[in-house]
Chains A and B, each alone.
Chain A
Amino acid sequence: MKPDQQELSLLEGLAKNDREAVEVIYGRHFPMVQSLIINNNGSSEDARDIFQEAMIVLYERSRTPEFELQCQLKTYLYSVCRRLWLKRLAQAQRYIPQVNGLEETIPVEEDVELHEQKNLEFQMMEKALLGLGEPCKSLLEAFYIQRRNMSEIASSFGYTNPDNAKNQKYKCLLRLRKLFFSEYKINTV
């Protein structure tokens, strides 16, 4: 079953991290996933983690230009959650060969694999940022993640002028790059 027009527009909103669209998707599909997880040895916290993970998978996929949803959002999210939860159970040595649920599923292994790769990178970046220490971390986050402009950052961080802040930022960035790539090489080689 193909997604309808409304779902496609929701997906578009999701790709842009549009709050409203994400809220709609979240509210509509979380209960289903929650009941899946809870009926299969999980807690509501597990359900939240798994669902948010699945939302990230969907988010990442929706941002890739070649992505085209071949089924309903519900089916996609359910399939991803099921896959993720199976993995989680397997990791926790509580492997249950069959996760019970009556919903239709589609093969999502590839998407999940891809997501795991990205997750690894995400964790490396997070680790690198943590290793960077303050104020570099906050400075880089303010510029690259929160996308604030340089003069604003300079005033809030107490730099005398934006150029100083810029120089400081580049120094921090160089350190971060070093940390990240060392980690990256360890992980990829």
Chain B
Amino acid sequence: MDRIQLLDDIERYLRNEMTPAEKYAFEELRQGDPDVDLMVVEHSLFMHQLEMFGDQKNFRTSLHEIHTDLASKGVIKETAPKAIIAQLWKKHRRVMGVAASIAGITTLLIAGISTYYSRKASTAELQVLSKKFENTEKKVNALSQQVENKKVEEPKAPATPIKSGGTGFLIDGKGYIITNAHVVEGSQAVVLQNNKGAEFRASLIHLNAQNDIAILKIEDADFKAPSSLPYSFRKNGAELGEQLFTLGYPREEIVYNEGYMSALTGFNGDTLSCQIGVSANPGNSGGPVFNKNGEVIGIINTRQTQAEGVVFAVNARNIFNAVDSIVKIDSSANHLKLPLNSQLKGMDRVQQIRKIADCVFMVKSY
């Protein structure tokens, strides 16, 4: 009981609730009794502890209340605990985003580039194909046109004013010259050049595109025609396998070639022409084809582009027809007559050529 009284006194002492007299008496007691003094110290510590405990407990309670309060007000948000993956995601979201976009851009870029280039390549291929096709088509067209029009490619002489060039030869001693129609077709002027380099102007007398035959007349006064032609013309043409030779101007120089009769008809069974086995080049057009007796059996006009050594010549019969048609129209040409007897029969080839060469001209069409 007195212990409780003492505790009450200590408490009141510590709380300063004692009257000065009581306080004095208590301090006397405390100084006199060490047990009481110890008890005061202990109690003071204990009260402090208890007070601290109380405060902390109150504070904890209020913190708890505040937390609930703020959470309900939405001032603070309680985030749900996240899974590791979610955490990793959140942590590396930016890096992953950047990486993903880089990857995406790269993929798109590569895809774009590859598509672009592959498309380009395929179109190039197509173009190549189409070009090839075009080429083939062109060739086929050209070929059919060639056959139709009896045309060959013409050499383009280095002196560009010349539109086309070919070969021509005299058909009589008065300056009439025969050549292919396609050589002189569409030209403003025609100049002939002999094997010595002398040039003569000529005018177009007759043109038959169907048979690919043109007849020119040399105008120049200084042209000295041979009194008679060394060669002749043979209406019936040649036999299969007959030896043939040609003269022409595929270059600036007169060129000799020889071969044989390959077929009696021309391209696709054309009976107006025949096939001969000689090598011919652009520029040979309009050149005479002779048999071994020096008789003209045809005029070279085309060659098959896809085949080697397949050359076609207009039959000599067409020359007769052409001359006939001239004579009918132009009375001044009624003296025109194709020689039928060759002076070259039995001569050796070199001799024949020496004689013929003077009568073969380069035809330059301007």
Contacts and interface: CB of A to CB of B under 8 A. Distances in A.
A131 interface: no
Given A22-B66, A26-B70, A27-B70, A170 B4 contact: yes
B79 A125 contact: no
Contacts of A146: 54
Contacts of A45: 81
A121 interface: yes
A135 interface: no
Nearest to A123: B53
Contacts of B47: 144
Contact of B50 (A34, A43, A118, A144): A144
B3 interface: yes
A157 interface: no
A173 interface: yes
Given A122-B52, A167-B4, A177-B46, A17 B76 contact: no
B128 interface: no
A34 B76 contact: yes
A27 B69 CA distance: 10
Given A30-B70, A145-B57, A170-B4, A121 B49 contact: yes
B75 interface: yes
Interface string A123-162: 0011000000000000011001111000000000000000
A145 B47 CA distance: 11
B51 interface: yes
Interface string A13-29: 00001010011001100
Contacts of A17: 55, 58-59, 62
A27 B74 CA distance: 10
With most chain A CB atoms within 10 A of its CB, the pick from B43, B58, B76, B82 is: B76
Interface stretch (A52-60, A71-79, A90-98, A106-114): A52-60
B95 interface: no
B56 A171 contact: no
Interface in A38-58: 38-39, 41-45, 48, 52, 55-56
A173 B7 contact: yes
A125 B207 CA distance: 137
Contacts of B63: 22, 26, 52, 55-56
Contact of A23 (B4, B64, B70, B82): B70
B208 interface: no
B76 A30 contact: yes
B76 A56 contact: no
B82 A174 contact: no
Interface of A: 17, 19, 22-23, 26-27, 30-31, 34-35, 38-39, 41-45, 48, 52, 55-56, 59-60, 63, 118, 121-122, 125-126, 140-141, 144-147, 166-167, 170-171, 173-174, 177, 180-181
27 contacts: A17-B55, A27-B75, A30-B67, A30-B76, A35-B79, A38-B82, A39-B91, A41-B87, A52-B60, A52-B64, A55-B63, A56-B60, A56-B63, A118-B52, A121-B52, A122-B56, A125-B49, A141-B54, A144-B54, A146-B54, A170-B4, A170-B8, A171-B4, A174-B4, A174-B7, A177-B42, A181-B46
Given A121-B53, A167-B4, 20 more contacts: A19-B62, A23-B66, A26-B63, A30-B67, A30-B76, A34-B78, A38-B79, A55-B59, A56-B56, A56-B59, A63-B55, A121-B49, A121-B52, A145-B57, A166-B8, A170-B7, A173-B7, A174-B4, A174-B7, A180-B46
